[in-house]
Structure 1
Amino acid sequence: MGLEKSDTHPLPQSEVLSPQRIEQAARSALRTRVALVGPTGAGKTTFLAALPIAAAKASWTMTGLDGESERFLGEAADLLIGQRAFPRNTKGRPTYRWRMSTEITVPGRRFFGATTRSTRVNLDLTVNHNPGACDAVIYFFDPTRPHHDPNPFTGLGPLPHRVAVCVTKCDDPSVRTRTTGRQPAEVFHDLCQTSAAHSVREAIAHTFKPENTRYYTTSAVGFHDPAESNGHPHAIPRPVNVLEPLLWLQLGQT
C-alpha cells in the first residue's frame, strides 16, 4: 500500500490534549466509539479511507481488530494511493474496529535531574453510524451540496458527547476560496448563512454543548497543483485534518 511516514509529531500541537487520557492510553488501550453522521456523498467513506494515510504520516499505525476492518484499511487506502480513485459510497451501515498505536516521549522520573522516556499509546476506535450508541460524533458538512438535512440529530438532543464538525471537500476550488486563511468555526458559520444550511447550525447548537464542539476544515486528498495529477483523478493523497478530529475526540482536554 506504500504508506509513508514523516517527522510529524504523533500528537498534533494544535490540539489541547489531556495528559490524563494520554496516560490512560499508555496503561491500557483507551476505547472510544465514534459515530459518523452526514448525508450520502458527504465524504464519510473517503475520510475513513484517508485515515490510515494520515495516521502513517504522523507515525501512527492502524490495525483492524476484525477481518472486515482490516480489509477496509487495505482496500480503501489502495484505492486512494494505488489507483488514485475515490471509494464508492458505502452500502449499509458497517461498523469498523481499529487499534491506533504510536510511541511518544513523556517526562520521566529520577532522583537527580529531568529525564524522558518513550511509551506506547494505544487507542481502540470503533466507528459506527449511530449517535445513540457512541461516545463521540463526527458530523460531515458538505458545502458543495445544494440541500441539507435540516436536523441530522432529530430525537437525540441534547447529548453529552463531543462532536467534531468537519467541513469536507475543502480541496474543491469553490470551497477552497472560502476557507483559506480563516478559522474553521468561522468558515462553517459563514457557509450556514444560506437558508438550506441554517437549520444545521441550529441543530448542532441544540444537540451539543459549545465546549464539546470543535470545527475542522478537511480534505481527504489535500491540496495539489493540477499538473501533479498526471491524468489521474487526483495526485497522491495528502490528507488535511483527517487524523486530528479523531485524536481530539479520543484524547482532548475536557
Structure 2
Amino acid sequence: MSADFYDPNKKSTGGPPWGPAAPRSGESAQPADPENNGAGQWGSASVPPLAPEQPGPVASIPPSPGVPAYPALPPLPPVADGNLEPLRIPTAPQEHGTGPDRIRIGLWGAPRSGKTTFLAAMPIAALQYQRHGQGNWLISGMTPESSNFLSDSVSQLAVRRVFPQATVGIQGMSWAFQGREAVSGMMRYRPRESGFVLEVQDASGEVFRADHPQHQGVVDQLARAQGLIYLFDPLGDAQELTDSLTFFYSTLNELSARVRDSGGLHRGRLPHHIAVCVAKFDHPDVFRPAVEAGWVTQDSVGSQLPRVPERLAPRFFQWMCDEFRGSTARLVRDGLATFFHPERMSCYATSAIGFRLNPQHVFDYRNYANEETTDGIRRICTAPEPINVLEPLTGLERRIRSGRGGRMRWRR
C-alpha cells in the first residue's frame, strides 16, 4: 500500500486547511489544542493563555525532590552610555575626500630658530586673517593632542604672553583647514574655497644634527613630506651651538640620498615644494638693517604694519645671505638652490609674534620691539600680530595641488 502524502492542491473536507492533519494509520491520536469559541473566550476545559511578563524580581521556585537547586542569576549590569550616539572618527572637509588628499609638511630649522613658536602662532594668525586679508580660515585639531596644542598656544601667546617651550624629540600633529581666500585671476577678488588636512612633524633643532639618535627618524619624515618649511634664523650664528650650516647640510645630504634611493628624485633634484621663512623679522637686529636697506614697506591702513612685499621676498633672502650674515648663510642659500627646483621655492619675511603696537593699536617705529625679559623670563609686550605664518602653509598647499609655482629670482 502506498504511503499517504500531503497534497497542497487538495482541499480539506473539514476544518481549515492549516489545521492538524489526521493521524496516519498505526499512529496514536495526539491531544487536541485548546479551542476558541470565536468570541475571544476559551472553553472551560481549555488552558488559559499566559499573562504577559511583568517586570520585577523573579520568585524563587522550590526545587523538586531529587533535582539539584541552581542559584538565581544576578541582574544584568546597566548599559554604559546607552543613551549616547555612537562617536564617529574625526573627519575634515577635503576637495576629494580621500586619504591622499592630505598635505604633509615638514618643519625644518636649527635650534632656537623658532619652530615651535611658529606653529603656536598659527591659530592666532588664522583668527586675524579675515582682518588683514581677503578671506577666512578655520583650523581644528584632528587629534586630542593637536586640539590641545591650539588651545595652549593661544593661551600662552595671547593671554599669558609667554613663549612656548621648545619641542623635545619629534612630535607629529595634524590640523584640518577650511578656508576661503582671494586669489589672483581675471577677477580681482575671485574667492577660492579650500579644505585640507595639514600634517606637520615638529622636531627639536638638535634632532637635525647627524649624530643625534633621532636624526634618521626626522630625515625619514622629511623624505615622506610633500612640502617643507625651512626657518632661516638670521641671528643663529651669533649664538652658541646654533651654527645653521652644521644642522642644515647634514640633513640636506641625507634627505637627498634617501629620496634618491627610493627613486623619488624629480629631474635630478628633490621633489618637495619648499617655503623659506626668514624668521624673527620683528627683532631690531634684523628689522632695522632691513629698513635701512630699503626692503621694508608699511601698510597705510589699519595697524600700519611693516612687511617685505611678496615680490621682493626672494631677493630679500638673497641680501640676508650675501650682505647680512656672511659666508655660512650663502652656503645655505646655495644648498637650497642646488637641491630644490627654483620654481618650487618661495620666500617670506616671518615673525611669529609681530611688532609691538601703541595703545591705539598702530605700529610706532620709535618703540616696536615686542619682546622683553622680566625676572629672567622672555615675555611678549602686546598681543601677537603674526606676520607670514599662515601664508607659507596655504601657499604650499596651493602649489602642491597645482604642481606649479612661480620661478624664484635670486638677483636684485
Same fold (TM over 0.5): yes
Q: CA deviation at 1:227?
A: 7.7
Instruction: Determine which structure has the larger strand proportion and give its number.
Output: 1
Q: Deviations over 1:146-181 (max 9, x none)?
A: 132251412223311100000000000110123345
Rg (Cα) greater in structure: 2
Q: Paired residue for 1:241?
A: 388
SS in 1 for 2:393: helix
Matches within 5 A, 1:214-253: 214-225=346-357, 226=367, 233-252=380-399, 253=402
Q: CA deviation at 1:28?
A: 3.4
Q: Paired residue for 2:279?
A: 168
Matches within 5 A, 1:1-254: 25-28=94-97, 30-58=101-129, 59-103=136-180, 121-129=194-202, 130-146=221-237, 147-150=243-246, 151=249, 152-157=251-256, 158-180=269-291, 181-182=294-295, 183-193=312-322, 194-225=326-357, 226=367, 233-252=380-399, 253=402, 254=404
SS in 1 for 2:121: helix
TM-score, normalised relative to structure 2: 0.50
Q: CA deviation at 1:191?
A: 2.0
Q: Identity, % of aligned pairs?
A: 34
Q: Deviations over 1:171-230 (max 9, x none)?
A: 001101233452221221122220221211111112110000000000011122448969
Q: Is the 8 A contact 2:140 2:175 kept in 1?
A: yes
TM-score, normalised relative to structure 1: 0.79
Q: CA deviation at 1:48?
A: 0.3
AA aligned opposite 2:167: T
What stretches of structure 1 of length at least 5 have no aligned partner? 1-23, 107-116
Aligned length: 222
Q: Is the 8 A contact 1:26 1:119 kept in 2?
A: no
SS in 2 for 1:97: strand
SS in 2 for 1:87: coil
C-alpha separation between the residues in 2 aligned to 1:224 and 1:37?
A: 27
